[in-house]
Structure 1
Amino acid sequence: MKPSLQVRLSQHLALTPQLQQSIRLLQLSTLELHQEVEQMLEQNPFLEAEEDSPTPESQVIQERSAPTQEESRYDADTGAADAAHEAGVGDPEPVSVEQLDFGAGESREDWDSGHDREDFNSLSDTPAARNGANEDDDSDWSERSTFTPSLPDHLRGQLLGMRLAGEDMLLVESLIDSLNEDGYLADTLEEIAERLAFGIEAGAVVTGDAIDPVEAATMREELIDRLRCALGWLQSLEPTGVGARDLPECLVLQLRELDPSPAQAAAIRICQHHLDLLARRDIKKLVTAVAADEALIREAQTLIVALEPKPGRRFARAEANIVVPDVIVQKAGRGWRVVLNPDVMPKLRINDMYAQVLRQHRSQRGGATNGGGDGGAMLSSRLQEARWFVKNILQRFDTIQRVSQAIVERQKGFFTHGEIAMKPLVLREIADELGLHESTISRVTTAKYMNTPFGTFELKYFFGSSLNTDAGGNASSTAVRALIKQFVAAEDPKKPLSDSQLSTMLEEQGIQVARRTVAKYREALKIAPANLRKDI
């Protein structure tokens, strides 16, 4: 082929560094934003944090209402937003903690009434807790983060009073280090012994003392035997059940702490060999397998329900369940208004002293064109970078507030009556109202949270698909899920509602929902199927 030259005209979008930073800051969560701010404060000397008083920039956020030129340019040229889909979760096999969730102190009626049984975390049973808020939404956020000692620290405190030999103490310490957050032993004794033996052999190599292979194998066997003794000491500590290697062992350890009785013995047999039947609530097979009558099986079930399947649950860090909202919804006359949470807004400013020194340096060098050579140009670039960063932070919070206010205006019914009054809403409606692009709305509503009278929710929570009604209108999928939750809460535990019955009840309310859709919504709500909600 003969080489030739061709001239072509084309258009393409060129994102400036400032616009790229604006897009990136917009999609960051609050935690990620503060990490970004800390990193920028370390790198840029012209940027500093203002801790004492609110900055003028923070007041500008509430006054601004129009998008900037960079934001409008981005909204006109970026692609569409990603869609979010919910997926159901099936029951795992074999029987595990997730299949037999019953929190400490719950009654048998609670277990049988159809509460969440697929997740052992009892905090997930309430909508407010699932969204990171307690029932008391008016309390101070700092009061919710009380200090709780960790499970290893709690166990080591008890270990000090056992007066074990030095080597035995170290072995128990090794087991404590192998516990997961639920209090279960994450590694097998053989794996722990292998690690300890490897450390001993590595130390011997350093000192020049070789270990014979036969001697090494004997040492590993001895370590496993001593670890079994150490495991017994660990499992004698409080909370009862800690150090268990699986769910049956954890439950049996707690049952053995109870007074001996026929129900206790039956409960131990069920936990050791027939947890799968208990998970399926197959009362007839349990009667045969345990060789006990139905009344005794029910007594054994009551004992099992009162156990704690996650001994380390109460030592979990409370901070992990706290979500600090980006915006707060407040009552304003007959309506609602959105204000930014000042606790999550970085208070930044330009260091006036450094900026003044740079200006003087420029004037002494004859202006910005030849002022200071490469060093002056680098400092000027850093100063401009700091100004851009502050401006993009302001734009981020401005956009979040505008989008949140638009959501509140569209979902006024929710703030008065709760989720059952939620209306269908899609990203495009908010985008068209504010003159933004759908992808911008998607970024704003991801990992950003709103504090409401009913709890703290992610902004995406207020968007839902539309379902047809007999009256020709539309119902939000969120409101339909709320109705399903109400139906299940009011059902007869001896005759729980099937997905088909729930679909029929929704149709009686004028909402057309297929049985498979009901099943998807039920699984999203972490409500067990009818056969697992039935009172045995």
Structure 2
Amino acid sequence: MALMPGLQINIGQQLKLTPQLQQSIKILQYSALEVQQTISTTLETNFMLELDEDGPDEAEEFDAADSEYEEEPINEASETELDIESSDTLSDDLQADYEWEEVYIDSPISNSIKSSNNDDYTAPENYTSAEVTLSEKLYWQSDIYSWSDSQEVIASYIIDDIDDEGYLKTPLEDIMASIQKNEPDLIISIADIEQVLFVIQQFEPTGVGARNLSECLILQLKALPQNPYVVTAIKIIEENFDLLSVRDYKRIKKIYLLNDEELMEVIHVIQALSPRPGREYSSTQGEIVIPDLKLYRSKDGFIVELNQDAFPRLTINSAYIDMAGSLGADNSDTKQIKEQLIEAKGLIKSIQSRGETLLRVGKYIIEKQARFFEEGEQAMQPMVLRDVAESLELHESTISRATNQKYMQTPRGTFELKYFFSTGVSQYGSDDQSAIAIKSHIKQLIEGEDPNKPLSDNKLMALLEEKDINVARRTIAKYREALHIPSSSERKKLNKFK
């Protein structure tokens, strides 16, 4: 059968995302810090976008002036050629770009955004002294040590391979191979590397350069003033570290002929050691969290609003619009101004849409979790993405984007919005309980238990039933493990040597 060209007509539906919608989705899923970075980058490349440093009053006056500009164009030629005022793409929404305060005026939860003091101020806790890294600390000690030429080279390779926690996890054979590859004239052996490593292990912080946990603890014990308990601790770690790891204290007492008091002293010596000696030189600056929403308590309840300090106020540079009006349509500058204007308006709309969505989600969370803000975690209600999506008539993916890496500052602290989402645990004949609330009850019961008689999972189940919380023992065990709380037998052993 011969193949011949032909034409076919097919009818079908296809969904395409406009560039503006794609940008809105991207801006919505950004964190506050990422939005700030996007704004900063756009300000550097788009001359139509600028910061609105005027207060609300000045902005309103500018809106009025802009409206006059729309009603009375500079000349007919500019109106016809550039078509800024009559274009469906640009004119209908131009005025809205400046009305930052009025975007959410219909929202019952926040009908205005308060003015803020934009004075530059840095809190004292944000001023930090210069930090010394672990590598710098080790190199400083190496520089003042009297190495031979070959030992100094070996020391530099070893220090480079020590991780941030102070451990040397690279095998000595690999270090020697690396040195031989990069320093072909240097003749060394494993014994030479071990000799240099022994010296580095005497550096501060004590325990640095260890190849495993037991070696790290032994290095620290050997640096302590020697007494019977320190000597016994060294022997236990060298000979029976596995028994110590599983807290098999009965066998330890039997092997080393210790009574309870002596074993307690030995355990206290070991517990005082640092399993990660390099941590003290790690960065101490906390992660910057910028809340997108702020929650206030008023006499009528709670009020939520956008964090006006999180984002700079944006506006359109009217000077370039006036300039475009005096240029011809064929002018390259006119086309560039139009492109930049579309981009600037699109960014402003995307940020406003993001804020509106966050306010709607924040309002729903406050209404649903009102008891949490009054009573704490134990009053947390079950809530899933589907509930919010159905209530706000949005897609679940939109709610997911609006809650991920978005934070709300509340009287109880700053929380990520997705923190308020929790699955419900079915109850027999009563309302479902939030998993977060159940975990909070378990944590509270364990914190108040008798150290000598820790509560078993069965006992926790019975105590929760007294609070009308009916969950299975395996569920309690799962939540307890999620809270990183050991079993009752493990807690009893730990409490014994506290």
For the aligned pair, the TM-score class normalised by the smaller chain equals 0.7 to 0.9
- Residues 145, 318 of structure 1: 8 Å contact kept: no
Residues 62 and 463 (structure 1), Cα distance of their counterparts in 2 relative to 1, 3 Å cut: farther
Q: Which residue pairs with 2:63 in the alignment?
A: none
Q: 3-state SS of the aligned residue for 1:274? A: helix
Q: Which residue pairs with 1:31 in the alignment?
A: 33
Deviations 1:122-173 (A, max 9, x none): xxxxxxxxxxxxxxxxxx8661563443222333344444454565444433
Distance 1:273 1:353 in 2: 80
- Residues 98, 315 of structure 2: 8 Å contact kept: no
- Residues 378, 440 of structure 2: 8 Å contact kept: yes
Q: Which residue pairs with 1:381 in the alignment?
A: 339
- Residues 373, 412 of structure 2: 8 Å contact kept: yes
Matched, 1:525 2:488: no
TM-score normalised by L of structure 2: 0.78
Q: Which residue pairs with 1:200 in the alignment?
A: 183
What are the within-5 Å matches in structure 2 for residues 80-119 of structure 1?
A: none
Distance 2:447 2:20 in 1: 52
- Residues 242, 312 of structure 1: 8 Å contact kept: yes
Q: Which residue pairs with 1:11 in the alignment?
A: 13
Letter in 1 for 2:331: G
Q: 3-state SS of the aligned residue for 2:294? A: strand
Per-residue deviation at 1:176?
2.6
Q: For 1:410, which of 358, 368, 372 is the aligned residue?
A: 368
Distance 1:309 1:242 in 2: 10
Deviations 1:262-296 (A, max 9, x none): 21112112223333322322111222344433332
Per-residue deviation at 1:384?
0.8
Letter in 1 for 2:237: C
Most deviating of 475-484 and 500-509:
500-509
RMSD, aligned CA: 3.1
Matched, 1:46 2:48: yes
Matched, 1:263 2:265: no
Q: Which residue pairs with 2:327 in the alignment?
A: 364
Most deviating of 400-409 and 248-257:
400-409
Residues 227 and 39 (structure 1), Cα distance of their counterparts in 2 relative to 1, 3 Å cut: farther
Distance 1:413 1:407 in 2: 11
Distance 2:238 2:309 in 1: 51
Q: Which residue pairs with 1:272 in the alignment?
A: 238
Q: For 1:391, which of 329, 349, 367 is the aligned residue?
A: 349
Q: 3-state SS of the aligned residue for 2:304? A: strand
- Residues 295, 408 of structure 2: 8 Å contact kept: yes
Distance 1:34 1:187 in 2: 41
Q: Which residue pairs with 1:143 in the alignment?
A: 125
Residues 253 and 321 (structure 1), Cα distance of their counterparts in 2 relative to 1, 3 Å cut: farther
Distance 2:45 2:238 in 1: 59
Per-residue deviation at 1:248?
0.8
Residues 433 and 58 (structure 1), Cα distance of their counterparts in 2 relative to 1, 3 Å cut: farther
- Residues 320, 337 of structure 2: 8 Å contact kept: no
Per-residue deviation at 1:480?
0.4
- Residues 61, 397 of structure 1: 8 Å contact kept: no
- Residues 43, 50 of structure 2: 8 Å contact kept: yes
Unaligned runs of 5+ in 2: 60-96, 108-121
What are the within-5 Å matches in structure 2 for residues 499-518 of structure 1?
A: 499-518=457-476
Per-residue deviation at 1:4?
6.2
Q: 3-state SS of the aligned residue for 1:318? A: coil
Q: 3-state SS of the aligned residue for 2:270? A: helix
Per-residue deviation at 1:255?
1.3
Residues 528 and 62 (structure 1), Cα distance of their counterparts in 2 relative to 1, 3 Å cut: farther
Residues 299 and 61 (structure 1), Cα distance of their counterparts in 2 relative to 1, 3 Å cut: farther
- Residues 468, 475 of structure 1: 8 Å contact kept: yes
- Work out which of the two has the higher radius of gyration on C-alpha atoms and give 1 or 2: 2
Matched, 1:496 2:448: no
Distance 2:10 2:408 in 1: 50
Matched, 1:463 2:421: yes
Residues 189 and 381 (structure 1), Cα distance of their counterparts in 2 relative to 1, 3 Å cut: same
Q: For 2:161, which of 172, 178, 192 is the aligned residue?
A: 178
Unaligned runs of 5+ in 1: 68-139, 202-210
Q: Which residue pairs with 1:328 in the alignment?
A: 294
Q: For 1:238, which of 177, 201, 204 is the aligned residue?
A: 204
Distance 1:267 1:495 in 2: 28
TM-score normalised by L of structure 1: 0.73
Letter in 1 for 2:267: Q
Distance 1:156 1:306 in 2: 27
Per-residue deviation at 1:13?
2.0
Per-residue deviation at 1:303?
0.9
Residues 17 and 155 (structure 1), Cα distance of their counterparts in 2 relative to 1, 3 Å cut: same
Letter in 2 for 1:260: Q
Letter in 1 for 2:32: T
Q: Which residue pairs with 2:435 in the alignment?
A: 477
Most deviating of 345-354 and 411-420:
345-354
Distance 1:173 1:59 in 2: 60
Residues 58 and 331 (structure 1), Cα distance of their counterparts in 2 relative to 1, 3 Å cut: farther
Q: 3-state SS of the aligned residue for 1:330? A: strand
Q: 3-state SS of the aligned residue for 1:60? A: coil
- Residues 65, 398 of structure 1: 8 Å contact kept: no
Matched, 1:295 2:278: no
Q: Which residue pairs with 2:171 in the alignment?
A: 188
Letter in 1 for 2:388: I
Distance 1:521 1:184 in 2: 33
Q: For 2:384, which of 404, 426, 435 is the aligned residue?
A: 426
- Residues 451, 492 of structure 2: 8 Å contact kept: yes
Higher RCO structure (Cα 8 Å, ≥6 apart): 1
Letter in 1 for 2:395: H
Most deviating of 56-65 and 382-391:
56-65
Q: 3-state SS of the aligned residue for 2:223? A: coil
Letter in 1 for 2:448: A
Per-residue deviation at 1:484?
0.9
Deviations 1:42-89 (A, max 9, x none): 44343345679799579826751669xxxxxxxxxxxxxxxxxxxxxx
